[in-house]
Amino acid sequence: MSVYLYELPTTGAISFADFCNDTTTEKLLTTHISDATQARANLRAVLKESKRAHDDERDHLKLVKILDDYIPKLRGIVACVSSGQIELKSEPVFSWRPTLSANLFNHSARLNLPSLHAELACTLLTYAFALSNLAHAKVALLGAYERDRAISEADRKLKDGQLTVAADLLCRASGIFSYIAETVLVQWDASGNSAAVAKPPDLSREVNNALAKLALADAQTLTIRKLLSRSAYDNNVAPGPPLPKSHPPPALVSKLHLECAALYSSARTLAKTSSSSSSSSSKGISINKDGEVSTDLRKYLSDETAMHEAWSHKWLGVDAGENGGTERGGDAVAFLVWAKKELEELKGRKKDRVSEELERVNVFLKHYKKINDSLHFQPVPSQADLQARIPAGRLVLAAKVFVPPQPAFGPGSMEDVRRQAEALGLQEEEETAQKTTYAGAGSYF
In a domain, 374, yes or no: no
In a domain, 422, yes or no: no
What pLDDT, on the 0 to 100 scale, is given for residue 439?
44
If DSSP codes are grouped into helix, strand and coil, which group holds residue 111? strand
The C-alpha R_g of the chain, in whole angstroms, comes to 28
In a domain, 335, yes or no: no
In a domain, 336, yes or no: no
pTM of this structure: 0.91
What pLDDT, on the 0 to 100 scale, is given for residue 108?
57
pLDDT tens, position by position, 90-137: 999 999 999 998 765 445 568 999 999 999 999 999 999 999 999 999
pLDDT tens, position by position, 173-215: 999 999 999 999 999 999 877 777 888 999 999 999 999 999 9
- DSSP 8-state assignment for residue 3: -
What pLDDT, on the 0 to 100 scale, is given for residue 420?
83
125, 101 in Cβ contact below 8 A? no
Write the CB contacts of 257 (distance below 8 Å, at least 6 apart in sequence).
224, 308, 309, 311, 312, 315, 393
- pLDDT tens digits in sequence order for the chain, 445 residues long: 789 999 999 999 999 999 999 999 888 899 999 999 999 999 999 999 999 988 778 999 999 999 999 999 999 999 999 999 999 999 999 999 999 987 654 455 689 999 999 999 999 999 999 999 999 999 999 999 999 989 999 999 999 999 999 999 999 999 999 999 999 999 999 987 777 788 899 999 999 999 999 999 999 999 999 999 999 988 877 778 889 999 999 999 999 999 999 999 999 999 987 665 554 443 333 334 556 899 999 999 999 999 999 999 999 999 999 998 888 999 999 999 999 999 999 988 877 889 999 999 999 999 999 999 999 999 999 999 999 999 999 999 999 999 999 999 999 999 888 888 887 765 555 555 555 444 444 433 3
Range of the domain at 160: 10-231+246-323+382-387
In a domain, 58, yes or no: yes
In a domain, 424, yes or no: no
Of 258, 255, 182, 171, the residue nearest 215 (C-alpha): 171
What pLDDT, on the 0 to 100 scale, is given for residue 199?
87
Count of the separate structural domains present in the chain: 1
Beta bridge partners of 87: 21
What pLDDT, on the 0 to 100 scale, is given for residue 49?
95
What pLDDT, on the 0 to 100 scale, is given for residue 2?
84
Of 163, 14, 6, 18, the residue nearest 98 (C-alpha): 6
In a domain, 130, yes or no: yes
In a domain, 331, yes or no: no
Residue environment code for 278-298, b if the CB has 16+ CB neighbours within 10 A, otherwise e: beebeeeeebeebbbbbeebb
CATH number at residue 314: 1.25.40.280
